[in-house]
């Protein structure tokens, strides 16, 4: 998205909350689509399964023609795709010259890595999800599941913590200096978290399976999986002083309109689920 239609006016707070919310909404929807459809659905098809339904936050894969190993790879494909998304976007953050494009890549990188490393923690504790022991999970049917869940949860937590620290430090680089630097980092991170959570829940409510999908997928992946946006600024402890100039994130009608179109399109297309 080109930042050319960004307004020249500089918000007193150093960023426009509506544009930031729009960037977060697009990043959350894009990462979810890549996780579900570029990960689970694609793996299901390539490994001999049949996708019976494409939902906004889930994929219904018919496993009957697949072996145990293939089923596990379908479950792993989502977190693997999230990790790849996060790593690619992280590599693009420093290369983006336009401030809003840089923020978008930062958001996509953060969401992708938090989702990828959050799933091992979530599945280790609850036993459900992509890496869980429940049907369709990567650990379904393994012997002595706790021998897998405990180290998986610990490793996932350690990697998640590192991802959050990276995210907040990178955000500090993006916002630049200024007396209100710490406040801006906290507000930008929190607004992104709330915007992504609200969009995810609203889209999730359109699913035909009821609240179970909203709670175990939409809420778990957004409010739970990316909770690092909420507590990350306090964990990373960004420096209050920075000699660099203050970077401004202006309002962009282009990003806001794009967010409305993309979120509405994804919600209307995949929210009710596409039966195949």
Residues 117 and 160: beta-carbon distance below 8 Å: yes
pLDDT tens-digit series, residues 52-75: 999 999 999 999 999 999 999 999
Contact predicate 228/164, CB 8 Å = yes
Q: What mean pLDDT comes out for the span 6-32?
A: 83
pLDDT in tens, 244-273: 778 889 999 999 999 999 999 999 999 999
Identify the pLDDT of residue 14.
Answer: 84
pLDDT in tens, 178-201: 888 889 999 999 999 999 999 999
Of the segments 46-50, 180-184, 211-215, which one has the largest average pLDDT value?
46-50
Summarize pLDDT for 105-125 with one digit per residue, the tens: 999 999 999 999 999 999 999
What are 150-179's pLDDT values in tens digits? 999 999 999 999 999 999 999 999 998 888
- CB of 11 within 8 A of CB of 248? yes
């Amino acid at each position: 998205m080109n930042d050319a239609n960004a307004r020249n006016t500089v918000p007193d707070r150093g960023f426009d909350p509506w544009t930031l919310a729009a960037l977060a909404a697009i990043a959350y929807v894009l990462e979810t689509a890549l996780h579900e459809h570029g990960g689970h659905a694609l793996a299901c098809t390539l490994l001999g399964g049949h996708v019976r339904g494409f939902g906004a936050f889930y994929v219904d894969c018919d496993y009957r023609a697949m072996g145990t190993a293939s089923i596990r790879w379908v479950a792993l494909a989502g977190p693997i795709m999230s990790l790849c998304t996060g790593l690619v976007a992280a590599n693009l953050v420093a290369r983006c010259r336009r401030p809003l494009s840089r923020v978008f890549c930062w958001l996509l990188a953060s969401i992708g890595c938090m989702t990828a490393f959050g799933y091992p923690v979530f599945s280790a504790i609850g036993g459900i999800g992509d890496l869980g022991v429940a049907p369709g999970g990567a650990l379904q049917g393994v012997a002595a599941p706790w021998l897998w869940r405990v180290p998986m949860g610990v490793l996932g937590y350690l990697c998640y913590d590192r991802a959050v620290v990276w995210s907040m430090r990178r955000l500090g680089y993006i916002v630049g200096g200024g007396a209100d630097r710490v406040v801006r980092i906290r507000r930008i991170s929190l607004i992104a978290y709330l915007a992504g959570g609200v969009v995810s829940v609203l889209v999730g409510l359109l699913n035909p399976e009821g609240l179970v999908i909203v709670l175990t997928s939409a809420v778990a992946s957004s409010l739970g999986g990316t909770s690092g946006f909420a507590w990350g600024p306090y964990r990373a402890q960004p420096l209050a002083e920075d000699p660099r100039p203050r970077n401004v994130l202006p309002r962009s009608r282009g990003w806001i309109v794009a967010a409305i179109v993309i979120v509405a399109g994804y919600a209307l297309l995949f929210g009710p689920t596409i039966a195949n």
